[in-house]
Structure 1
């Protein structure tokens, strides 16, 4: 029997960066109308997808020229809500689809996050995933009282401890601790409720978690480290890893490096899957897919591109000299504790040591901002061929995160109605949910 491809759908950006006005996006209602999300949850569950995912950011982008004005004007990276209550509402309209929620270990406290996710796992009936991130955006850091960004390696040290505390809290009350004996009045067995007494470099937490253990025990842990230090943390904390679709050769290399790190942690690589991000345009004909693809360059107004990119990499691109190399700029970004991985990702098609002009750089960045060079477009057969090749070459363990869809709900409908049936015909996608919890469905 062929191994199944798992699919997540990313709703983080569907209302941002020009996507809200793309043909095929919701009409007559605007973010954050809950009806949008209830509808999308039902569509995704009809298509038997594994989960809906929400990334997050808590600051209005202000890296470009030190101002929020361009981001506010053009809807770059804002507005954003805390999606936890939205997930609660979406779960009441569905029975099987999972939900991924993002919080930053750089800014948040593990006791609060552990308690919140425990409660959401109850509300959803065991369908929660926790995407734990480190934060590299100054606009976010300023809202939590940070004057400077935390050093890169230290951010991952904090994440390691953060997840250690969360896992200790989630296991601090035994699954069978609660008795609810109406005759005697006994609520729970005290011997099965233990403090964690944690004292570490970043956190002091006494515990235990004052909650009933949730259906999954703990949420599925997802992490997206790509640097050597990030991959080490992935191997230490994650059940699943989010990773870039940077080309088959690089993806195979990433999977191999992750497997080595897992073995070093004493973990079986077969127990940790990878979800590769992929931007898809699925249409019945190549012609229609190509037509929609060519419209991508017009999604974000030109005035918003600098604000978008500067926020993503934590470096004010308005300061670029007239001529420079990628290596030079990356050195400055690294020195400022921003995100060198992010910058190297968006410039991966450029020669690091070749001198270029500002005009040349922005021309290529227009393509990146629109996901123009990352999109896989075409008929269901062509898309399925691509996904199956990547899936097999990287070990048939995990699947794909359908990221940054150009138009929602149109692109989700096309995945559900065109792509999913093609994958099912190949024996590569489920024909029904087999489990009750997200953990069970991801392992099926």
Structure 2
């Protein structure tokens, strides 16, 4: 049987020790079978196990193999499209529910870290950085919007204020979210997996779901086994493939690239980001960066539509890093990798059921660290019979990409080019 290891990333190289988990063989029975051991699957499993359900997870590769173990590691509130967009798309009741949930994912992460003593280099504080006065105006409006939904841990930064938290002259201002922050994403996933197992949950690695046999008791088939369940939760996101064609038609895997420097040392690292906040800029195709626990700079950005792996990731991202921090021109890049996230046309997550017993959540559109943890809670609530919050997400409208799967990449890339041109022109 094929064995899929972690990609060669900084996170995999610095991951906490984890057990080798067996592949599924033979037949198993459970209450709920979850497809995917990323954040969505792990969060769902934890909430269900804490409520007494019998749960198993089938994972195609290893815990956190996909976006959960490769992302920028930033705890960013709300969704890829903010609450004002949701307010214009759905009724007042759904918008109120979704707005209230927009800041819950970060709290869930911190609760998990504390409850299960997960060592993942948690640091508090995240900054949104504005290049232009127009972007600064957007942040001012965003602050008012978030405060309207009860999120008050925000501080606007003028040019001097942002220069105090990030050592670059590129920005005119920004906004600090004290409830934001950053983590070692793979270690968070590994810690959550250990918590799942401590509660009696079972995780099968190297066990891709190849078919779901739908019916009164759905059966998830893997190459060497199958799981019969009362309910199935599909949590594969960008790594689900074409397992469920009706979901694949409304989403598109996209790649983002990340590089990590050699250790910078305490003095240089502190000079770049004195408060150890994470940063993302306000461009449509944004860059993001932060310090690791061992004082490396982790810098990511760019989007490859259709999830092709670029030939030279460092050549794409290093110039972006040096534009922000020219003082790092002689610093060595030790790791470079790509990872896929799942994009939806609306940039809002897709949540729903197929029939009565197959549930899914997908399409974080690059904003998944916090949302996936919330999604696990919402999915678990629905499986326990409390569907109000699930239904609020399920009510969001979703559409297939124009031109179908054949043309979704060029059409989306053309739209992204338009917005990135606007970013460069400052309009």
Regarding TM over 0.5, the answer is no
Larger Rg: 1
Q: Normalising by the residue count of structure 1, what TM-score does the alignment of the two structures yield?
A: 0.28
- The structure in which a higher percent of residues are helix is 1
Relative to the length of structure 2, the TM-score reads: 0.28
Q: Which has the higher strand share?
A: 2
